[in-house]
Structure formats: C-alpha cells, structure tokens
C-alpha cells in the first residue's frame, strides 16, 4: 500500500469519452485515480498517462461493472494501491438505439445489466467502502427529459439511475457522503457520434441556446465540482445540456 494523503477516486468508463476526461480533470486536482476499463487496455494506459501529466497518480484496473466479484476486486485494488477511496464516478454504460416496437429484448436485457445492475453493484461497494466526506457521482442522461424516439431502453435505465442516486443519498445519512447524478445532453463522444449521419449531428447540436454539442470537458468540470467543493449539492440529478428544452 502506498503512503498517501491525497484523495482517491475510482472512475468507471475511465478509458474513453467523458470518463477519460473526468479522470484527467481529477488528476489536475491532484487526485489519485483508478481508471476502470472494460476491454481497451491500451486506451486505459493512455488515460493513466493523462492523469499523471495533469498532476495526479493513477493505475488502470479492468472490471465488469455488472459483476459483484469483479467490482469488489476493483475496490480491493484501489485500497491496496492508494490506501482508501473518497470518490466514485460511475460513467460506464452502453447505448443501443431502436424503436420500442422493434427492440430485441436481449438488447434491453443488456442495457439493464450494464446500466442498472452496474450502477447498483458499483454504488453498493461505494456505500460500503467510501471514507466519510466522500462523493458518489453516477451518470444519468438528459434523454430522460428529451425523450427522443429510439432511446427508450437507454432512457429507461437512466431513469433508474436517477432513482438509485436520490435514494442512496438519503440512505447515507450521517456519513457526510454526497450522492448525485449528472445527466449530460448530447456530447461529442463516440457513444453519441458513432453511427449518426452528420446532418443529424448538426441538427441536434443546433438545438440548445449555446448552439453546440457538449464536450467531455464540460462534464468533467461539473464532476470535479461535485467531487470537491460542491458539498451542499446532494441527492440531485443535474441536467448538463447547454439549455436543451425537454
């Protein structure tokens, strides 16, 4: 175990997109970061280097967020390397699109396993192991309000994330641990961009008053606030979408 006085964060989905940008942003605040990845070891190692360049220390750990033994081992690795855990950012998730009437129910089951069960599993370990004064930050989606056709499975799972986050915040009374959900709007990551024609991307980007897509750093700044000075924000779903209307 490393002697450590820094705060320690676990970031699931930390090898790509918003999770990766968040890991680097926490590094800038001198967090020690556990970059959690599903399959892309090379990307995770790149994310580790970005955290280190920003000013923090980091390791990469592979885990299946829907598997309780895998997640328990992840938390063990974080505690062994850095001595404890203060912040958990749960950014891992999947999104596959289909009209509800045409949705393969196996795809629905996959969404429920990764996005809902994964949140339960990660939050369960976080609730058991976070040091007092910590923060749990789950990722929801503005699609719970924007209600775009084709997103029923994904949006349904993110509605569950909102409920989990609020209830867990109340269950942790007396621990000085905040629990919030961040609900991004359309953000320029591969999760959003892949498979969409440019015309559709341009149309969605023009919708908010700021007339652009969100960038991963927009969300990373919000997470850093919730992980640090934003101690009076608790049990909330924060819609970070540039003003897109429901």
Say whether 214 sits in a helix, a strand or coil.
Answer: strand
Contacts made by residues 166-174, CB under 8 angstroms, sequence distance 24+:
166/235, 166/236, 166/237, 168/123, 168/127, 168/136, 169/234, 169/235, 170/235, 171/127, 172/127
Write down the catalytic residue from 37, 151, 154, 239: 154
Task: Based on the residue annotation, tell me whether 239 is a catalytic residue of this protein.
Answer: no
What are the strands of the beta sheet with 237-240, ordered from one edge? 57-62, 32-37, 8-12, 87-90, 135-139, 178-184, 237-240
Cα separation, 142 vs 224, whole angstroms: 19
Count the neighbouring beta carbons within 10 Å of the beta carbon of residue 193. Answer: 14
* Catalytic machinery residues: 154
């Amino acid at each position: 175990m490393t002697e450590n006085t820094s705060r320690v964060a676990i970031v699931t989905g930390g090898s790509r997109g918003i999770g990766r940008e968040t890991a680097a942003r926490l590094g800038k605040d001198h967090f020690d970061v556990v970059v959690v990845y599903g399959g892309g070891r090379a990307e995770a190692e790149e994310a580790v280097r970005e955290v280190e360049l920003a000013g923090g220390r980091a390791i990469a750990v592979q885990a299946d967020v829907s598997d309780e033994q895998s997640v328990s081992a992840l938390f063990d690795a974080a505690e062994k390397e850095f001595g404890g855990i203060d912040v958990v950012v749960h950014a891992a998730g999947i999104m596959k699109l289909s009209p509800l009437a045409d949705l393969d129910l196996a795809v629905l089951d996959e969404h429920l396993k990764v996005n809902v069960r994964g949140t339960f599993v990660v939050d369960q370990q976080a609730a058991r192991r976070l040091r007092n004064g910590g923060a749990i930050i789950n990722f929801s989606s503005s699609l719970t309000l924007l209600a775009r056709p084709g997103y029923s499975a994904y949006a349904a799972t993110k509605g569950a994330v909102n409920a989990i986050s609020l209830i867990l915040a109340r269950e942790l009374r007396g621990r000085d641990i905040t629990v919030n959900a961040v609900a991004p709007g359309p953000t320029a990551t591969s999760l959003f961009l892949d498979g969409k024609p440019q015309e559709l991307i341009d149309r969605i980007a023009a919708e908010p008053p700021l007339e652009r897509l969100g960038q991963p750093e927009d969300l990373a700044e919000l997470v850093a606030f919730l992980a640090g000075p934003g101690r009076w924000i608790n049990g909330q779903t924060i819609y970070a979408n540039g003003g897109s209307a429901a």
